[in-house]
């Protein structure tokens, strides 16, 4: 009896060790980690612009009064063109002294007031001349400066979803190739990490140069051609993901 009891006490730890070994094998299942990229292209339907209105006068009050008049002109142009109030906002308002360097050192010129306004125009593809007409009217305001503009897609959710799908298919294709080279097959996924979406605009170099001339010499373009030309190019939305696939 003593001998039998001793055998049972040894057998239980052996069974537990075997079970733990099997669990360890499951945790060591083969995996392959790959990245995928998906890109979709679309015509931009929204343009976002920033304008600056500034004036220098003897006093800050005079400078601000002049800028306020310029802002009212700009808002009237935007409202008349159908730009919604929710798409117009003030980026900043600044007052500062203005100086000029001369032979005798720094010379005070006056007080400068500056207000920056941002606005967006939707559905630009419906009326391609609408944006050009707005710019042509805005640059008629003395002291206005076009700080920058960029095109975008108003509702990118559908394009982002398609980009994710293409990124997943790209990663899956790579994973199947690696599995085949390793004489295995893909049986599932363990983790998916999305690195984010990348937005950009692509267009031919000639159009890019034309766009730059419009931004930095808009008044000259209007005098020479009669109307501002704004090639929109193509919008690119890319998704990048990293996936850990299970192999067997």
More confident residue, 95 or 10: 95
Mean pLDDT (the chain, rounded): 80
CATH number of the domain residue 118 falls in: 3.30.70.2970
Q: Are residues 103 and 187 in the same domain?
A: no
Q: Which of 33-37, 52-56, 143-147, 188-192 has the lowest mean pLDDT?
A: 143-147
Q: 1 lies in a domain?
A: no
Residue 200: the pLDDT is 58
Q: Are residues 88 and 206 in the same domain?
A: no
Average pLDDT over residues 175-199: 90
Q: What is the pLDDT of residues 237-246, one digit of tens each?
A: 999 999 999 9
Average pLDDT over residues 129-143: 90
Is the pLDDT assigned to residue 21 strictly greater than 50?
no
Is the pLDDT assigned to residue 224 strictly greater than 90?
no
Q: Are residues 210 and 227 in the same domain?
A: yes
Q: 139 lies in a domain?
A: yes
Residue 130: the pLDDT is 87
Is the pLDDT assigned to residue 20 strictly greater than 60?
no
Q: What is the span of the domain harbouring residue 179?
A: 28-44+154-248
Q: Are residues 126 and 221 in the same domain?
A: no
Closest among 141, 241, 122 to 192, alpha carbons compared: 241
Q: Which band of pLDDT confidence, cut at 50, 70 and 90, is reported for residue 10?
A: very low
Residue 8: the pLDDT is 44
| Edge-to-edge strand ranges of the sheet holding 46-57 | 88-102, 105-122, 46-57, 144-152
Residue 57: the pLDDT is 95
Which of residues 116, 132, 152 is at a domain's end? 152
Residue 233: the pLDDT is 76
- Predicted TM-score (pTM) of the model is 0.64
Contact 28, 98 (CB under 8 A): no
Is the pLDDT assigned to residue 126 strictly greater than 60?
yes
- Number of compact structural domains in the chain: 2
Q: Are residues 81 and 145 in the same domain?
A: yes
- Token pair for residue 93? 């308002």
E-only strand ranges, 58-104: 88-102
Q: Are residues 160 and 247 in the same domain?
A: yes
Q: Are residues 223 and 143 in the same domain?
A: no
Q: Are residues 213 and 242 in the same domain?
A: yes
Percentage of the chain beyond pLDDT 70 is 76
Residue 93: the pLDDT is 94
Contact 241, 34 (CB under 8 A): no
H helices of 98-241, in order, are 128-138, 157-181, 205-216, 218-225
**Distance in Å from the first CA to the final CA of the chain:** 48
Those residues whose C-beta lies under 8 Å from the C-beta of residue 213, and which sit 6 or more positions away, are: 221
Which value, to the nearest 10 degrees, does the dihedral of the CA atoms of residues 201, 206, 209, 211 take? Answer: -60
Q: Measured on CA atoms in the order 16, 20, 21, 23, is the torsion positive or negative?
A: positive
CATH number of the domain residue 189 falls in: 3.30.110.170
């Amino acid at each position: 009896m003593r001998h039998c009891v001793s055998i049972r006490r040894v057998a239980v730890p052996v069974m537990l060790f075997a079970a733990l070994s099997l669990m360890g094998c499951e945790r060591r299942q083969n995996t392959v980690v790959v990245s995928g990229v998906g890109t979709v292209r679309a015509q931009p339907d929204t343009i976002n612009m920033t304008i600056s209105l500034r004036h220098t006068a003897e006093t800050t009050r005079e400078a601000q009064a002049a800028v306020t008049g310029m802002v009212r002109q700009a808002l009237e142009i935007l409202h008349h063109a159908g730009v919604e109030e929710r798409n117009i906002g003030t980026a900043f308002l600044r007052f500062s002294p203005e100086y000029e360097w001369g032979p005798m050192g720094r010379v005070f010129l006056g007080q400068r007031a500056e207000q920056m306004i941002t606005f967006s125009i939707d559905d630009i593809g419906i009326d391609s001349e609408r944006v050009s007409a707005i710019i042509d009217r805005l640059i008629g305001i003395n002291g206005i400066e076009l700080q920058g503009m960029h095109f975008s897609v108003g509702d990118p959710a559908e394009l982002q979803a398609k980009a994710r799908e293409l990124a997943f298919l790209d990663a899956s294709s790579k994973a199947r190739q690696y599995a085949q080279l390793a004489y295995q097959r893909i049986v599932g996924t363990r983790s998916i990490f999305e690195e984010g979406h990348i937005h950009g605009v692509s267009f031919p170099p000639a159009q890019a140069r034309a766009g730059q001339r419009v931004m930095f010499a808009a008044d000259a373009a209007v005098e020479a051609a009669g109307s501002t030309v704004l090639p929109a190019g193509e919008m690119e939305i890319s998704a990048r993901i990293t996936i850990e696939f299970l192999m067997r």
